[in-house]
Structure formats: C-alpha cells, structure tokens
Amino acid sequence: MFEHRLRVRFQHTDPAGIVFFANILVYCHEAYEEFLRDGGIPLEEFLGKRKQTLPLGHAEATFKRPFRAGQLVTVRVSVGRIGERSFRLEFDLFGESMEHLATAATVHVSVDPATGRSTAIAPELRSLLEKHAPPA
C-alpha cells in the first residue's frame, strides 16, 4: 500500500463546480508515478533506460462523491494481479475526513516500443510490485 496526497485545482473543476471525471484518472496516474518514484524507479528514467513503455490496457473508475476545488485528496495505491507481461493497480481516493470519494483500477502492459509488442515486466519493476502485492 502506498499513499499520495494532492490538492484539487481550480482548473480541474467544471462549470458544475466538480472535478471533470477524466481528471480523477489523472490523479490516479500521478499517484502511480509517485509510487514508482518512491520505489526507486521513476517512470521517466525507467522509460529512458529500460527501453520499455507501460501503456494502459484498461482503466476503470467508480465515482461515489463529488471532488471539489481546493479539496485535499488522498490516493491509496494497491497492487492487484501481477502477470507475466502486465499488472493491475487499484486505487481508493479519500477526502479530508477520509470519506471514500472514488475507486479506480488501471492495467499496465509492458511493451517493447521497438516492436510494439508486449514483453516481460522488467525485474526491478516486478520486485517493486511484489513488495506491495497482497499475500497470496
């Protein structure tokens, strides 16, 4: 489990005064970037050095309560299934009183950009994921 906090920005909200849904998935990706950085594998370095990309194969989110401008949000990241060539992350987003705002999940596929094909997850990424995976 890993947690990242962020603040909802004015420009993330729409005329109805609440965060536009796609921005909530951006918050999840921001937490994923911090999860990797905290684990010693910053995404930008990983992509540069490893010559692998990690495009999303799937994303989903369920929104329970509105996110409002100025609000502090805690994003909790958990590792779901770890496959040979892909992995699933799960996200829970909470407000300031730890009220549950949303859940989300993303599936990331390890891809060799030279061929465009899926490839085995790099060992250092696999070991970071396993450290955070739920006990079998």
Kindly write out the interface string for residues 21-60 of this chain, putting x where it contacts its own copies by CB under 8 A and - elsewhere.
xxx-xx--xx--x---x----xxxx-x-----x-xxxxxx
Shortest Å, Cβ 111 to its own copies: 9
Rounded least distance, CB 113 to its own copies, Å: 7
Return d(Cα 79, Cα 36) in angstroms, integer.
Answer: 12
Q: Considering beta carbons, is residue 32 or 94 the nearer one to its own copies?
A: 32
Active-site residue, 92 included: no
Cβ neighbors of 49 (< 8 A, separation 6 or more) are none
Q: How far is the CB of 1 from its own copies (least distance, A)?
A: 21
The span from the CA of 42 to the CA of 26, in Å, is 17
Whole-Å CA distances, 135 to 14, 32, 71, 79, 116: 41, 20, 33, 11, 33
From the CB of residue 116, how many other CB atoms can be counted at a distance below 10 Å?
Answer: 9
Name the active-site residue from 14, 38, 92, 112. 14
Dig out the tokens for 119 from the structure.
Answer: 């490839």
Task: Give the nearest distance from C-beta 129 to its own copies in angstroms.
Answer: 18
Total number of residues that touch its own copies (CB under 8 A)? 41
Using alpha carbons only, give the angle 92, 94, 96 rounded to the nearest 5 degrees: 165
| 16 binds its own copies per the rule CB under 8 A | yes
Cite the active site residues.
14
Interface residues toward its own copies, by CB under 8 A: 9-11, 13-18, 20-23, 25-26, 29-30, 33, 37, 42-45, 47, 53, 55-63, 66, 68-70, 106, 113, 116
